[in-house]
A and B are shown apart, each in its own frame.
Chain A
Amino acid sequence: MVSDGRVVVVGGGHNGLVAAALLAKAGLRPLVLERRETLGGAAVTEEFHPGYRCSTVAHTAGPFRASLVQELGLGGDGLAFISPEPRVFAPLPDGRSVRLWGNAERSAGDIHRLSPRDAERYPAMARALAAVARVLAKALAATPPDVDHPRPRDLWPFLDVGLGLRRLDKGDALALMRWAPMAVADFAAEWFEAEPLRALVCGRGVFGCFAGPWSAGTTANLLLQAAAGGGDLVPTVLVRGGLGALTRALGDSAQRHGAEVRTGTEVERFLAENGTVTGVVLAGGEEIRARAVVSGLDPHRTFLRLLDPALLDPDELRRIRNYRIQGACAKVNLALSALPAFAAVKDEDPRALLGGRIHVGPDVDSIERAFDEAKYGGIARQPFLEATLPSLTDPSLVPPGAHAMSVHVQYTPYRLAQGDWPSRRAELLGIVLDRLEEYAPGLRGLVVGSQVLTPHDLEATYGLTGGHPYHGEHALDQLFFTRPLLGWGRYRGPLPGLYLCGAGTHPGGGVTGAPGANAAREVLRDLR
């Protein structure tokens, strides 16, 4: 047990709650401060239209780290993860489709219709990816080593990673080093010839990033997701009741273990005395002293808004300002009177095909061209979309017979060359509906209500600076021990008393709980 004294967790997102729950379990009585009335940050279930609920921002779990479910007793709260089959369904303009399933052989069977050669190669790719991902997964669960004074304690897990590498087939081991910096389009082309399958792979590489399939390093993003997802190329995990059910369970667990949670409580700034963070000041002016402040907010919010910049040295200030956090994603949530009819769903039962991710991005060029437009500050005319129909696996989210469609939209740059987001919201909705209409004719007619979350909204409502879903770009120079910055990669900022636990830390974005869990471990090391 640790001595008395408060630990304040700023931000009740999934990582903040994971950190709080683990700290509470260890005997600290953390106080979680959430600006919004609802807990969960970007992992929330909200009623976006009367009678219609869905995971309004993130719509799939990262996947969430399984060990945390046991450790925090989340299962007890009736929390249920859903692994839909197929994992992903990709309709094509010509009425064909690609489906990937939990089972590689079954996926290969479907791929055979596109390309017998690819069908042959798919299991090999799945095997190599799984092998590499298993090794990588160990690195995700570890705290990056201290560059200046590496301690054996910190290096040990990576020795384990190194041994894991050496145990791998030499080809796989070198593949990991070769793949990470590669453009995902190259990775896809190395394995497959069928354009739709290549595009599907590219979708995993660019998802959430301001990068296109031909941008170097996008394979690293694919590897991160695969590592978190037990080695699957397309890990797809939904939560019954939406992602809000997960964060609610986390909040309950935290409180059960002794944490205090205050919603509707905005932190205005951090308190600091002679170079040490000693607490927080609330919007109302109330001061809360703490022996440790753990920030679940993104690095820019944490260091450039809540912290007095004067406390950072000019070089640190320059470096954190240059941390790349411009997002290019938006979210469109649709209330539908019925299940949309995808042209690619022929005489099969649509319910058996549309339960997972629906990937709209039929070829690599179309995704790259969409990125090109965003590159120059425009909204992609033909965006890359990833939709889910959570109401298929959980009807309780919507009125009987109706459906909710959650659509992740890329590319929509936070900084527009023309106009501003509030004035272009309707335009974005039109673009997304047109794109969906191409694949599900008549969908427009089913729309009874909609919610459009532009990058601007993601920032204003959910506190995602720059509208970036990952709290900062997943780029090689912003991952691992350089996330968010070299020297700040161990969940500690430059000031004693201030810790980071958000997606802006290793291993990055996605509803995995990993940053929160790693951060809690570091906080406990210091406070014990």
Chain B
Amino acid sequence: MPGSTYDVVIVGGGHNGLVCAAYLARAGRKVLVLERRHVLGGAAVTEEVFPGFRFSVCSYVVSLLRPEIIRELDLPRHGLEILPLDGTFTPMPGGDYLWRMDDHARTRREIYRHSPVDAEAYDEYARAMADMARFVKPVLNMVPPDPLSVTGVARLLPMVQRFRALPRSQQHNLIQLMTMSAVDLLDQWFETDVLKATMSASGIIGTFLGVRSPGTAYVLLHHYMGEIDGAFRAWGIPKGGTGAISESIAAAAREAGVDIRTEAPVEQFMVREGRAVGVALSGGEEVKARTVVSCLDPHRTFLRMVEKGVLDDGFLGEVRRYKLRGSSGKVNLALDALPDFKSLPGAGPHLRGAISISPSVEYMERAYDDAKYGSFSRRPYVDIVIPSLSDPSLAPPGKHVLSCFVQYAPYHLREGTWDEKREAFGDTVVSTLCEHAPNLKDIILHRQVLTPLDLEREWGLTEGNIFQGELSLEQLFFLRPVPGWARYRTPVRGLWMCGSATHPGGGIMGAPGRLAALEMLKDGRW
């Protein structure tokens, strides 16, 4: 292993790096994956944070994992099992709630309770979104063309044709979806405030935008495209936590002959005469390879790992312009019992799905306002799951693990540092939850608070951005990560990118890793 040379060395054992490795190895390449941490998976990782309590520490649900990857890498055989996450429960301050379930009829009745009109619109909306998702999905499996080249334009034409083939109403929806704010879009369909609030939430996850910011409607779709066994909008939690996904991909990769080393931090990419020739590890060890693939975000890849003088200032300028700007944190709680919600008491099935603290559109927007001016939300949007309900193996008998995705928590604080504010942030989240489930404060055994700074330090997510860069229009498709370099290549010959910072972006999707591998295999030059 050490000393020997490889066709490809992949830096970063996140899910995309592992997917990329598996595909390259299956094509006969000799591949090595180097992971800085002791555990594989990057942000898709399960860790025993407290004795007996195992958490999907960062990324906590799966919905976007590409079906062709599950199929082609035969992940179920390698241990992937996805348990359903049934519905979304949104408690409201007034003692009421909105509970959308995967059971269509019951969801309809529930929405009818709030507004008969919306119950009607809900079906239409679901159909419209499914149509949009069906149109956009092929783009997820497409290497972005260069819009300024004749061939690139030619490759875009089929999309134009498909667009023109759509009925006018769908064309209209699609254009709005790509440009509008989540709330502006939902306003056109629904009147129930809490329904709009909780639906718009999926439009802002991981972005530094508010539910009223143009461009968030697209992210709404990005999350709508989730699919398990082909069923749209089905979210799930992997048995054994999100780390189990990474483990299953790693198993597939190993089976294909990939060497994987953990606790192997890379210091620098070695470049000779403008060509990548390998990597240098912190220990001083050097690994030679004809191709180096970076699973890290562009800031790490180009501003840290490539030595000065190799890249021209124009390109570096574009890289510095690339917006990461994390906006979310994570609070993981080890619980002695289940939370009891005022609006719907008892340990009912409503706890088995996602629990969304998004009571009103104004609540969501004000949470964003705080972040705009450099402080974490006084009353944040929180997305809660209790995976131990469907997967008891995660916690000791009778006990539970509860994970809170919290927005907004801006990486750049105007006052103080995250090290000073960490516990205050944790307290804010807990008190926010206690307003809806007062018993929570008495049942917390342990609490892990992850600020954007922690996500950066421990998991290498620069500025704590969970998508390795904002999913805003100017950073998507042929503009991701930077204009002119959206095809997984970099200005350094033999150095490639395969992380969430490349098309089609973040989420436990695997698409960037797969597309990068396929593009490399197509590329004759190596």
Contacts and interface: CB of A to CB of B under 8 A. Distances in A.
B372 interface: yes
Interface residues of A, number: 40
Contacts of B163: 147
B175 A315 contact: no
B93 interface: no
Given A147-B164, A324-B184, A181 B179 contact: yes
B90 to A, nearest CB: 21
Contacts of A319: 169, 172
Contact of B372 (A177, A214, A217): A214
A54 B460 CA distance: 59
Contacts of A477: 175-176, 178-180
B369 interface: yes
B212 interface: yes
B171 A485 contact: no
Nearest to A149: B164
Interface stretch (B23-31, B241-249, B471-479): B471-479
Contact of B172 (A174, A211, A486): A486
A179 interface: yes
B238 to A, nearest CB: 33
Contact of A375 (B172, B365, B473): B365
Interface string B72-101: 000000000000000000000000000000
A475 B214 contact: yes
B148 A166 contact: yes
A181 B372 contact: no
Given A216-B213, A376-B362, A476-B179, A186 B323 contact: yes
A118 interface: no
B213 A170 contact: no
Contacts of A369: 373
Q: Which of B212, B213, B362, B484 has the most CB of A within 10 A?
A: B213
B169 A181 contact: no
A478 to B, nearest CB: 9
A369 B175 CA distance: 29
A282 to B, nearest CB: 34
Interface string B228-268: 00000000000000000000000000000000000000000
B215 A482 contact: no
Contacts of B483: 171, 174-175, 177-178
B147 A177 contact: yes
Contacts of B369: 372
Contact of A215 (B164, B169, B214, B373): B214
B321 interface: yes
A174 B484 contact: yes
Interface in A175-200: 175, 177-182, 186, 190
A216 B214 contact: yes
B373 A365 contact: yes
Contact of B474 (A171, A181, A482, A487): A181
Contacts of B308: none
Interface string A89-133: 000000000000000000000000000000000000000000000
A486 B214 contact: no
Interface string A301-328: 0000000000000010011001010000
A330 B365 CA distance: 25
Contacts, number: 87
Contacts of B474: 177-182
B125 to A, nearest CB: 13
A165 interface: yes
B113 to A, nearest CB: 25
Contact of B168 (A165, A173, A322, A487): A487
The secondary-structure label for the interface of chain A is helix
B263 to A, nearest CB: 38
B209 interface: yes
A372 to B, nearest CB: 6
A166 B212 CA distance: 35
Contacts of A487: 168, 172
Nearest to B486: A174
Contacts of A171: 314, 483
Contacts of A217: 179, 214-215
Contacts of B214: 181, 211, 215-217, 475-476
B188 interface: yes
B327 to A, nearest CB: 12
B436 to A, nearest CB: 23
Nearest to A178: B474
A171 B479 CA distance: 12
Interface in B156-191: 163-164, 168-169, 171-172, 175-176, 178-180, 184, 187-188
The secondary-structure label for the interface of chain B is helix
A368 interface: yes
A148 interface: yes
Nearest to A322: B188
Nearest to B184: A324
Contacts of B484: 170, 174
B175 A215 contact: no
Contact of B164 (A148, A166, A175, A214): A148
Contacts of B213: 214-216
A174 B314 CA distance: 13
A372 B370 CA distance: 11
Nearest to B484: A174
A175 B479 CA distance: 10
Contacts of B362: 376
B381 to A, nearest CB: 17
Contacts of A482: 172, 175
Given A181-B473, A477-B176, A170 B148 contact: yes
B377 to A, nearest CB: 14
Nearest to B318: A171
Contact of B321 (A190, A375, A486): A190
B407 to A, nearest CB: 16
A315 B180 contact: no
B471 to A, nearest CB: 11
A177 B479 contact: yes
B180 A486 contact: no
B193 to A, nearest CB: 14
A314 to B, nearest CB: 10
A318 B314 CA distance: 47
A322 B173 CA distance: 12
A316 B463 CA distance: 44
A215 B473 CA distance: 12
A368 B212 CA distance: 14
B372 A147 contact: no
Interface string A489-512: 000000000000000000000000
Contacts of A372: 369
A343 to B, nearest CB: 27
Nearest to A175: B483
B51 to A, nearest CB: 44
Interface string A466-494: 00000000011100001001110000000
Contact of B148 (A147, A165, A179, A216): A165
Interface string B113-128: 0000000000000000
Contacts of A182: 472-474
Contacts of B169: 315, 319
Contacts of B323: 186
Interface of A: 147-148, 165-166, 170-171, 173-175, 177-182, 186, 190, 211, 214-217, 315, 318-319, 322, 324, 365, 368-369, 372, 375-376, 475-477, 482, 485-487
Given A177-B474, A215-B213, 4 more contacts: A375-B212, A475-B214, A477-B175, A482-B175
11 contacts: A173-B148, A174-B484, A181-B179, A181-B214, A182-B474, A186-B323, A315-B169, A375-B365, A476-B179, A476-B214, A487-B168
Interface of B: 147-148, 163-164, 168-169, 171-172, 175-176, 178-180, 184, 187-188, 209, 212-215, 314, 321, 323, 362, 365, 369, 372-373, 472-474, 479, 483-484
Pairs of residues from A and B, 6 with the lowest C-beta to C-beta distance, nearest first: A174-B483, A181-B473, A476-B179, A477-B179, A216-B215, A216-B214
